[in-house]
Structure 1
Amino acid sequence: MCNQRLLVWEAWGPATHPPRLRRRIRDVSRLRNAVTGAAIGLGSGAVAVAVGDLVAAFTGPASAPVLAVGSAAIDLTPTPLKDWAVQHFGTHDKTVLLSGIYATLAVLAVLAGLLALRRLWAGVAVFALFAGLGMWAASSRGVALPPSAVAGLSGTAALALLVRLARPSPRPREAGEAPVSGAAPTRDPGSPTPGPPTSRLPTSEPRSSGPRTPAARGVMGRRGFLVALGATAVGVALTETAARALTTARYNVAKARAALRLPAPVTPLPPVPPSAHPPVAGLSSFTTSNSGFYRVDTALTVPQVPPSGWTLRVHGLVDRPLVLTFDQLLRRPLRELDYTLSCVSNEVGGPYVGTARWLGASLPDLLREAGVRRGAEQLVGRSAEGMTIGTPVELVLDGREALLAVGMNGEPLPTAHGFPCRSLVPGLFGYTSATKWLVDLELTTFAALDPYWVRRGWDRTGVVRTASRIEVPAPFARVPAGPVTVAGTAWATHRGVAAVELRVDGGSWQQARLAADVGPDVWRQWTWTWDAAAPGPHTLEARATDGTGAVQPETRTPPFPSGATGWHSTVVTVT
């Protein structure tokens, strides 16, 4: 009844409204316009994103506007901020970034809708900005521009249509009706003075067949607008569903990977001996599962590279440039390598390290076939999504077992870890040695090219630091007085681990018992029995000595620019 009264008051004319009622009508109108504008903007923005994703299903997933903008944002993010994101969000950093991009787009879309209700060109300008940003991001990443362009056009079209439907169409004035300026209705001089609007409420008498009242026209307009919004939502859902289905059908390599049967290695490695892994609850398994292996990279979506179309180009400072197909790669002698891979972003005691049994062809043998020319200083690997990783050539050819890996823990590489092929160079952090989704190898000089991470200030070589972490007891654990088993893992890849020591509350160092040594390229686990006699909190510290006799340094340094150093410590309470 209250809304009906408001409509009647509006029909009677603002000049007759009491001030309090005029304010109420004005507030309701503003709220209605704000909600309408937000709905228009969000609906138009959703149309733009969905259409962009659909076009990207034909031009490549990386060209989708949101992914292109996200990838460009990663490229432009300062190194300290990237490092902070990895430390705080871990492998969820990309999800956080995409969520932020979608939230920003939603805010811009709402702004566009609010502006368009007043001035259509202002809302269109926001969508033009969206399209321009997407096209710039796409060009900076070397991906197709049409998805962003078509997304901007479709969003603009949806915006214009929804704004037109949201605006009430003017109706012809009836005879004797006041102008739209807000003046009261005209009346004969002899007619009685109109009473309060409550006395003019509609009656149940039949209406004439003349033009509709403002109230009826407003209701019909809102109904039409809501129907258009609903149709937009359905269209967006169908378009996005079609885009994802097409993307999966055209680019997903899960079936190709599942059908792949890798050849056996020329000399299989023996199984990892049980003595390499102390039976201590809470200690990391010696071999990290594929699903549990860490992933740190800049790819917002996992590149889908079909092995049937994969080739590896070897060029640059070589005597005989090569192009290798995947079948040719599999026909080369394949070797197994137990190797602990670690990330330079790992803090002291951090989780970004894992061990796997890798299968692949010898990278040094391939380079020797190509003929490395004098003056070649670095080997630059390029991934299918544009990442560049630079490795010093002398460290690839000094006798270490560098691989073009195609298998991981007895199965083809997972797509998240580089399927169908990645490089591995033991002794170096992943950012200078492990190119996932590898498609190109170039021999060049340091002066000719700075790879992705070197351009951002990271060390050019990336030699793995000696590290040891305490895994048992867990941080802030409460342990009973008496013998307490302390256990953990240490690594110094390509140098090996010769010793691990522990101390309590700054006391003297005690030798830990090392598990069996599987090789210098693999981590080594250890245990130590602590006689926990004094109740209360205690600080445990660990340090390792590598195979060259160098002791892990005490001074703590952050990961940037060449990897974290320092002794790992943990606090436990004896009860």
Structure 2
Amino acid sequence: MPARRKRFFAWAALAGIVAAAGFLAAAELVALVAAPSASPLLAVGSFVIDIVPQPLKEFAISTFGEYDKIALLAGLALAVVVAAAIAGVVELIRPPLGSALFVVAGILSGAAILTRAGATPLAVLPPLAGTVAGVVLMFLIGRRLRRWRDAVAEPQRQLDDTDAADEAKIPTPRSSRRGFLQLTIVTAAASVIVGVGARIVSATTASVTAVRDALTLPASRSTVTIPEGAELDVAGITPLITPNADFYRVDTALTVPSIDPATWRLVVDGMVDQRVELSFDDLVALGLDEYGVTLTCVSNEVGGGLVGNAIWQGVPIRDILRMAGVQSGADMVLSTSVDGYTASTPLDALTDDGRDAIFAVAMNGEPLPLEHGFPVRMVVPGLYGYVSATKWVTELKVTTFAEDEAYWTPRGYSAEAPIKLSSRIDTPRSGTPVDAGTVAIAGMAWAQTVGIERVEVSIDDGEWQPATLSTPINADTWVQWYLEWQAEAGTHYVTVRAVNANGEQQIEERAPIAPNGSSGWQRTLVTVR
């Protein structure tokens, strides 16, 4: 390919990218005024999250952890850049096919927006505005680029075919290039200013951070007492109470929903005697209590960190269901988040007087962080989060497993998912050598709703040795454990297993995350120097 042709293909790719920037800027500007949640890039990202196959989901979580959504946005941005560059080249070669690709992009993004939960008729305006802007810019910038190309390719023929009087009107390579660059630079700069500015203003306008900071919750009627000996003084062990900033986050929300407690409503409907609707003030007026509960994500691998323990303030869900009057035959409650996410929770887990399933409004002494479900989320001990811990919850539908299914069920996960008895080694860590002598092997173990009876450790597949346990807060929280080991130089395998209060031993056999959580004993290689 001639060098000159390659150069114009590069300029064409840039033209496509700049036109795409104009598309997004116009869409963001209109979204700011008409439909703040109708950002095309975010809507497509949410759509991708919905359709991504289960193995890719697990790969993203295990690879990027809490940054999986940032990685998704970065990947989408790269895909937009590549697609826009291709559209620009196509527009140079076969106009107006490049502009037609922007129409296709507008239709796809519009479909993604209109299929989101809570979409209004106005949600069509941002992708429509973006499409118009993208097509117009692609046409104008592409036309100037072709003029430049033609002026470079055949300047002499144009002079030979033109009268001397019209010679001054002939576009020269220099003037054509200047016209193309001026339009491209101005469009790019305007797109960045408008697009970024609209997104910042939208985020600022939608932010409820100030509302959360100013929120004062009533004092709890009961508090959680941390017993003496509940937290071990062992270097490297996970804290008994997970700080809010360190608590794991796994959900399907590409952007954190911004919900004002003043407008939040909870609706309980379905197989009930009467429909119940509560405001935030109605909910907290029922009286708040504290609960210590450990939450676990189904995506947690053996020895993984997608588990955390917090002190929650909230109202028992069973009290709300009693207000509605659950009808016979129901066996499931379908909870729905403001972003359309759903979870299927066994009804008996929410109505059992012995299980503290709650609508939580506070976490570790402060209103829920935005990313953890502000203003209200569900917390249900003993069930993996994908069937119980709905954030930003707005609706409970009392129903049956035969009638309804939740978000993750058709994606290869079990409709019911009790948390599996597990244990974890926090220290020493594989890859971090320790000195010979007395070494503390320590970690966490959990068996929500049942409690831990004992933890055992084996060195180099030798006899099982009982570890020392911390005093549990209750049966719904994890416990810490440790074992003093006289370590000798070399490499050693350390294995841990737990036994719950019912005498059941942790499953040894390894199982993958899907369909209902991983299992297996953690076995870590430790180097002693």
So what's the TM-score if we normalise by structure 2? 0.94
> Aligned equivalents of 1:401 and 1:224: distance in 2?
69
Match of 2:134 in 1: 155
Closer/same/farther in 2, CA of residues 360 and 148 from structure 1, 3 Å limit:
same
Closer/same/farther in 2, CA of residues 117 and 429 from structure 1, 3 Å limit:
same
- Residue 68 of structure 1 is aligned with which of 31, 43, 50? 43
- 2:211 is equivalent to residue 211 of structure 1: no
Match of 1:221 in 2: 176
Q: Is the 8 A contact 1:404 1:422 kept in 2?
A: yes
Which letter does structure 2 place at the counterpart of 1:145? V
Q: CA deviation at 1:547?
A: 1.4
Which letter does structure 2 place at the counterpart of 1:230? I
Identical amino acids, percent of aligned pairs: 39
> Aligned equivalents of 2:290 and 2:34: distance in 1?
37
- 2:4 is equivalent to residue 49 of structure 1: no
> 1:109-120 maps to which residues of 2 (within 5 A)?
109-120=84-95
Give deviations 1:152-186, integer Å, cap 9, x for gaps.
Answer: 11101111111222232899xxxxx9755999x9x
> Aligned equivalents of 2:507 and 2:446: distance in 1?
14
Match of 1:439 in 2: 394
> Aligned equivalents of 2:368 and 2:33: distance in 1?
26
Give deviations 1:64-94, integer Å, cap 9, x for gaps.
Answer: 1111111111111111221121111111111
- 2:89 is equivalent to residue 129 of structure 1: no
> Aligned equivalents of 1:357 and 1:306: distance in 2?
23
Closer/same/farther in 2, CA of residues 245 and 86 from structure 1, 3 Å limit:
closer
Q: Secondary structure at the match of 2:396?
A: strand
> Aligned equivalents of 2:304 and 2:113: distance in 1?
34
> Aligned equivalents of 2:32 and 2:510: distance in 1?
47
Q: Secondary structure at the match of 1:211?
A: helix
Q: CA deviation at 1:28?
A: 4.1
Which letter does structure 1 place at the counterpart of 2:110? M
> 1:243-282 maps to which residues of 2 (within 5 A)?
243-270=198-225, 272-273=226-227, 275-282=229-236
Match of 2:347 in 1: 393
Q: Secondary structure at the match of 1:145?
A: helix
Closer/same/farther in 2, CA of residues 40 and 543 from structure 1, 3 Å limit:
same
**Which runs of at least 4 in structure 1 moved beyond 6 Å after TM superposition?**
none
RMSD: 2.2
Q: Is the 8 A contact 2:381 2:476 kept in 1?
A: yes
- 2:493 is equivalent to residue 493 of structure 1: no
Which letter does structure 2 place at the counterpart of 1:530? W
- Residue 168 of structure 1 is aligned with which of 135, 147, 160? 147
Closer/same/farther in 2, CA of residues 384 and 60 from structure 1, 3 Å limit:
farther
Q: Secondary structure at the match of 1:98?
A: helix
- Residue 408 of structure 2 is aligned with which of 449, 453, 461? 453
Q: Is the 8 A contact 2:21 2:192 kept in 1?
A: no
> 1:136-535 maps to which residues of 2 (within 5 A)?
136-142=111-117, 143=119, 144-168=123-147, 179-180=157-158, 211-212=167-168, 217-270=172-225, 272-273=226-227, 275-399=229-353, 400-533=355-488, 535=489
Closer/same/farther in 2, CA of residues 61 and 546 from structure 1, 3 Å limit:
farther
Q: Is the 8 A contact 2:430 2:527 kept in 1?
A: no
Which letter does structure 2 place at the counterpart of 1:367? L
Aligned length: 520
Which letter does structure 2 place at the counterpart of 1:424? V
Q: CA deviation at 1:145?
A: 2.5
Q: Secondary structure at the match of 1:479?
A: coil
Which letter does structure 2 place at the counterpart of 1:294? Y
Q: Is the 8 A contact 2:16 2:138 kept in 1?
A: yes
So what's the TM-score if we normalise by structure 1? 0.87
Q: Secondary structure at the match of 2:67?
A: helix
Q: CA deviation at 1:278?
A: 1.0
